[in-house]
Amino acid sequence: MEGRKVSDTLNIHTELIMPAHTNPIGNLMGGHLLSWMDVCAGISAIKHSGGISVTASLDNVSFNLPIKMGDIVILKSFVTRAFNTSMEVICEVFIKNIKTQEEVKSHEAFFSFVGLDFRNTTPIKVLPVIPETEREKELYEDALHRRELRLINAGKMNAKDSVYLKKEFFNDNDDGVNVI
């Protein structure tokens, strides 16, 4: 089957946290991080689709670990799965300790991008993704569930049509009545 390997969509971006990026207590502002994550993930989507791709949505991001002024952060993204015109991209953020070379993961988010035609107006079909490693295969499988949940959240899918919700939370009994 024609497709593109996950590894071909890998994008890595490094930033040094400067005073202009921080809030009054010296932590990186969330908006800056989100902007870098969006661009990093968008480049992965462009690598996959071969053309312009727009952000359709971003699943939740928690700011559990502060990134401090002077820290070096590394953003890594790749396409986990392509559907029809849309692609799911994971973007992970790591704080790098230069002395030890250790990288600690601080943030993670799943983005959805839609490939557009040459006029940048109409969604176009994108190639399938070819997962190779165990992690890539796991992310690929689970992407179907995440897609259903985000489309339900966006009001673009009826929860009753979700294969994932039916399988995980409901059992169809013989009377055709759903029980939790």
Ligand X SMILES: CC(C)(COP(=O)(O)OP(=O)(O)OC[C@H]1O[C@@H](n2cnc3c(N)ncnc32)[C@H](O)[C@@H]1OP(=O)(O)O)[C@@H](O)C(=O)NCCC(=O)NCCS
Contact set with ligand X (CB under 6 A):
54-57, 83-86, 112, 114, 123, 150-151, 154, 156
Contact indicator for 130, 4 with CB cutoff of 8 Å = yes
> Could you tell me the smallest distance in angstroms from the CB atom of residue 81 to ligand X?
10
> Could you tell me the smallest distance in angstroms from the CB atom of residue 82 to ligand X?
7
* Residue number, 11 or 106, with CB nearest to ligand X: 11
What dihedral do alpha carbons 33, 34, 40, 42 form, nearest 10°?
-170
DSSP run (H or E) holding 40: helix 30-49
> Could you tell me the smallest distance in angstroms from the CB atom of residue 151 to ligand X?
6
Cα-based angle 9, 72, 10 (whole degrees, multiple of 5): 5
* Residue number, 22 or 44, with CB nearest to ligand X: 44
Which ranges constitute the DSSP H helices of the chain?
A: 30-49, 134-153, 163-169
Q: How many residues does the chain have?
A: 180
The residues with which 92 forms a beta bridge, in sequence order, are 76, 108
> Could you tell me the smallest distance in angstroms from the CB atom of residue 89 to ligand X?
11
* Residue number, 74 or 152, with CB nearest to ligand X: 152
Nearest to 78 by CA among 34, 39, 135, 40: 40
> Could you tell me the smallest distance in angstroms from the CB atom of residue 120 to ligand X?
9
Q: How far is CA 20 from the centre of its chain?
A: 26
* Residue number, 45 or 151, with CB nearest to ligand X: 151
Separation CA 68–CA 53 (nearest Å): 31
* Residue number, 11 or 53, with CB nearest to ligand X: 53
